[in-house]
């Protein structure tokens, strides 16, 4: 099935939509100046940059990429700050994998190994969107393992390069000498556990359980000061030279190569916790992952917690949703354990006293920064569809609730980012929907002042729907302007428009928001806010309500308590208004 290439939107459409996005966020004087800058851009450098981008797109299409591919990846790989505090995400997932304990952990690992090994064998089925269109499978490549390798200026993605099958396959389904391994983190220590047979099939569930039991029975003391994965929580600026020093030792270089080849890592958590605490720990706390691996799973042995820590460079939430769904669909056969399965082996770093001291100092600084990040959950009512006067998009409703909460808390509205899946295009990632439309602002202002009308409401819903359609048809604003800025840089052509305050205001995301729909595979997730004063908000539609996970900085996020309170109040206000409407 062929995935269509990512088109370059018409210049005039993007500029018109940009002005609409800027209108609610800047004062009238700035808006008028921005209109003048936009007109000059449209008649002067804009067409030249557009032509260059279209030519670049044709060249990239011929290579099987999109015009956005390399610049998008480069934006991630040049991040120098700690990934868990910048771009990585902690997802709580769900699945009927049994009661808490060793058996449930083993079933999660077996299911994950099945899905990852299927990708290694090249047998992952083609994914399609709800309309039956094929989507790009590029992001699934992260399931084969590998690492993001920190470098001083730009990191590298290193993949294992699996052979199609093992020439040294063991007999009777036994693991081969080069069987695929996973990493098991327990009490801050890492163990390598083989999970595949010679033909890249998962070992039996009972063999996985025996391996995990062997890890637990070691009963090693907890490594608290410097867990195995501690270095990976440092940003590349600090991590790259430390990793070079670490792997200068041949033993450590071998451990790092083994870590790189692992399909994934799983963290066995011993202590039960409240949901918010689990989320914060999985996303931000040192030692829960090798944070430069694409995926680290997490399972608590004492409660229902299941999670994935995801490094975001090469994979987005929609693919992680598909992976979490694929785990649920794995059939677990009743098989006898392998008679001669290799035992898990402990992997350790050989640290000089100087390197250890430097790592301890750097990790302490990370912990101090991570302690500033928190997650606050707010659940608000949601009427049953039968109670609504007409169809109201859950996504639009939740964005209107957040917008009204902004207005009620701060007396003004600021920029909001909403991610939209774009994988139906070649090498597709995400587009940015800008939900703070003039129509939405007019409606929530009227709602706040008790003067809202059905006309204002439907105009806000229509404007949101128009943005959704534009993004899904590759006619969003943010990515196109990113491409034009890339061309300006390549051609050495400065642009007043691309440096305008209005464009900066549109891109300054007081709320960075994202939703993956309902809680059937991914329940909720945590990530760092993208602005010091703002929030990262994940929102999920349940049967009877909407849940907002408000990710915040304890030191700088602006009035968390007021915003959280007004989310609930805004939902009440919205649905009270909707109740006055008639079909």
List, for residues 341-353, the tens digit of each pLDDT value: 889 999 999 999 9
Task: Note whether residue 157 is domain-resident.
Answer: no
| Nearest residue to 110 (alpha-carbon basis) of 179, 208, 193 | 208
Domain boundary, last residue among 321, 346, 371: 371
Coil/strand/helix, residue 523 = strand
Q: Which of 267, 312, 464, 480 is catalytic?
A: 312
Active site residue 480: no
Strand partners, 191: 184, 346
- Do 337 and 447 sit in the same domain of this protein? no
Could you tell me the CATH number of the domain that includes residue 350? 3.30.559.70
- Do 379 and 458 sit in the same domain of this protein? yes
Answer yes or no: is pLDDT of 169 > 70: no
Answer yes or no: is pLDDT of 174 > 70: no
Rounded to the nearest integer, the mean pLDDT of the chain is 94
- Do 321 and 349 sit in the same domain of this protein? yes
What's the mean pLDDT in 4-22?
96
Task: Note whether residue 154 is domain-resident.
Answer: no
The Cα 359–Cα 169 span in angstroms is 40
Contacts of 183 (CB under 8 A, 6+ apart): 190, 191, 192, 193, 259, 262, 264, 265, 266, 290, 293, 347
| Nearest residue to 514 (alpha-carbon basis) of 532, 502, 526 | 526
Answer yes or no: is pLDDT of 162 > 80: no
Contacts of 214 (CB under 8 A, 6+ apart): 343, 344
Domain boundary, last residue among 334, 350, 371: 371
- Do 63 and 201 sit in the same domain of this protein? no
Nearest-5° Cα angle at 129, 123 to 132: 90
List, for residues 468-522, the tens digit of each pLDDT value: 999 999 999 999 999 999 999 999 999 999 999 999 999 999 999 999 888 999 9
> What per-residue confidence (pLDDT) applies to 129?
87
Query: 171: pLDDT confidence band, cut at 50, 70 and 90?
Result: very low
> What per-residue confidence (pLDDT) applies to 177?
54
Task: Note whether residue 421 is domain-resident.
Answer: yes
Answer yes or no: is pLDDT of 330 > 80: yes
CB-hemisphere CA count at 13 Å for 527? 27
- Do 434 and 572 sit in the same domain of this protein? yes
- Do 118 and 216 sit in the same domain of this protein? yes
Query: 176: pLDDT confidence band, cut at 50, 70 and 90?
Result: low
Task: Note whether residue 310 is domain-resident.
Answer: yes
How many CB atoms are located within 10 Å of the residue 282 CB? 28
How many CB atoms are located within 10 Å of the residue 166 CB? 19
What's the mean pLDDT in 538-562?
96
Could you tell me the CATH number of the domain that includes residue 412? 3.30.559.10
Tell me the residue range of the domain where 98 lies.
84-149+183-371
What's the mean pLDDT in 550-562?
98
Domain boundary, last residue among 309, 341, 371: 371
The Cα 510–Cα 507 span in angstroms is 9
Task: Note whether residue 175 is domain-resident.
Answer: no
Which span out of 514-518, 533-537, 540-544 was modeled with the highest average pLDDT?
A: 533-537
> What per-residue confidence (pLDDT) applies to 298?
98
Task: Note whether residue 298 is domain-resident.
Answer: yes
What is the total count of domains within the chain? Answer: 2
- Do 93 and 117 sit in the same domain of this protein? yes
- Do 259 and 396 sit in the same domain of this protein? no
List, for residues 397-444, the tens digit of each pLDDT value: 999 999 999 999 999 999 999 999 999 999 889 999 999 999 999 999
- Do 397 and 275 sit in the same domain of this protein? no
- Do 539 and 395 sit in the same domain of this protein? yes
- Do 139 and 251 sit in the same domain of this protein? yes
> What per-residue confidence (pLDDT) applies to 1?
65
What's the mean pLDDT in 173-201?
87
- Do 470 and 444 sit in the same domain of this protein? yes
Asked if 529 contacts 369 with a C-beta cutoff of 8 angstroms, the reply is no
Task: Note whether residue 167 is domain-resident.
Answer: no
List, for residues 455-476, the tens digit of each pLDDT value: 999 999 999 999 999 999 999 9
> What per-residue confidence (pLDDT) applies to 458?
97
Task: Note whether residue 251 is domain-resident.
Answer: yes
């Amino acid at each position: 099935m062929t995935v269509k290439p990512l088109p370059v939107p018409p210049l005039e459409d993007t500029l018109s939509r940009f002005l609409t996005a800027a209108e609610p966020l800047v004062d009238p004087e700035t808006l008028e100046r921005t209109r003048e800058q936009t007109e000059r851009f449209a008649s002067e450098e804009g067409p030249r940059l557009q032509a260059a981008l279209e030519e670049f797109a044709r060249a990239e299409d011929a290579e099987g990429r999109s015009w956005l591919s390399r610049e998008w990846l480069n934006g991630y790989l040049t991040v120098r700050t700690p990934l868990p505090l910048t771009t990585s995400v902690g997802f709580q997932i769900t699945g009927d994998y049994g009661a808490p304990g060793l058996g449930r952990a083993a079933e999660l690992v077996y299911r994950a190994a099945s899905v990852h090994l299927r990708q290694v064998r090249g047998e992952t089925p083609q994914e399609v969107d709800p309309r039956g269109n094929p989507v790009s499978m590029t992001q699934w490549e992260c399931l084969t393992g590998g690492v993001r390798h920190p470098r001083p200026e730009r990191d590298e993605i290193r993949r294992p390069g699996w052979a199609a099958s093992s020439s040294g396959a063991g007999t009777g389904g036994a693991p081969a000498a080069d069987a695929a391994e996973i990493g098991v983190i327990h009490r801050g220590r890492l163990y390598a556990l083989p999970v595949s047979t010679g033909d890249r099939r998962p070992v039996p569930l009972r063999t996985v359980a025996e391996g995990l039991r062997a890890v637990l029975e070691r009963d090693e003391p907890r490594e608290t000061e410097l867990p195995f994965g501690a270095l990976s929580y440092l940003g590349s600026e600090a991590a790259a030279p430390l990793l070079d020093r670490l792997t200068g030792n041949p033993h450590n270089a071998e451990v790092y190569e083994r870590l790189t080849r692992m399909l994934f890592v799983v963290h066995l958590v011993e202590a039960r916790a409240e949901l918010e605490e689990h989320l914060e720990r999985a996303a931000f706390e040192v030692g829960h992952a090798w944070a430069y691996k694409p995926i680290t799973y997490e399972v608590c042995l004492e409660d229902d917690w299941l999670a994935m820590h995801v490094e975001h460079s090469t994979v987005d939430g929609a693919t992680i949703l598909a992976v979490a769904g694929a785990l649920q669909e794995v059939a677990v056969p009743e098989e006898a354990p392998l008679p001669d399965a290799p035992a898990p082996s402990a992997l350790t770093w050989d640290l000089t006293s100087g390197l250890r001291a430097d790592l301890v100092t750097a990790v302490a600084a990370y912990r101090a920064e991570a302690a500033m990040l928190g997650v606050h959950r707010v659940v608000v009512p949601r009427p049953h569809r039968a109670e609504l006067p007409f169809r109201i998009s859950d996504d639009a409703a939740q964005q209107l609730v957040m917008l009204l909460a902004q207005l009620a808390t701060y007396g003004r509205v600021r920029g909001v980012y909403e991610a939209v899946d774009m994988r139906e295009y070649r090498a597709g990632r995400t587009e940015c929907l800008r939900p703070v439309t003039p129509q939405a602002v007019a409606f929530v202002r009227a709602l706040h002042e008790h003067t809202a009308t059905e006309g204002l409401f439907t105009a806000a819903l229509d404007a949101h729907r128009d943005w959704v359609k534009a993004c899904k048809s590759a006619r969003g604003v943010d990515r196109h302007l990113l491409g034009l800025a890339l061309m300006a840089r390549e051609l050495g052509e400065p642009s007043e428009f691309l440096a305008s305050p209005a464009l900066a205001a549109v891109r300054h995301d007081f709320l960075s928001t994202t939703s993956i729909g309902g809680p059937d595979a991914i329940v909720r997730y945590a990530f760092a806010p993208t602005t010091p004063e703002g929030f990262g908000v994940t929102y999920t539609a349940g049967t009877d309500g909407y849940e907002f996970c408000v990710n915040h900085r304890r030191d700088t996020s602006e009035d968390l308590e007021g915003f959280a309170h007004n989310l609930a109040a805004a939902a009440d206000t919205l649905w009270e208004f909707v109740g006055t409407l008639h079909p």
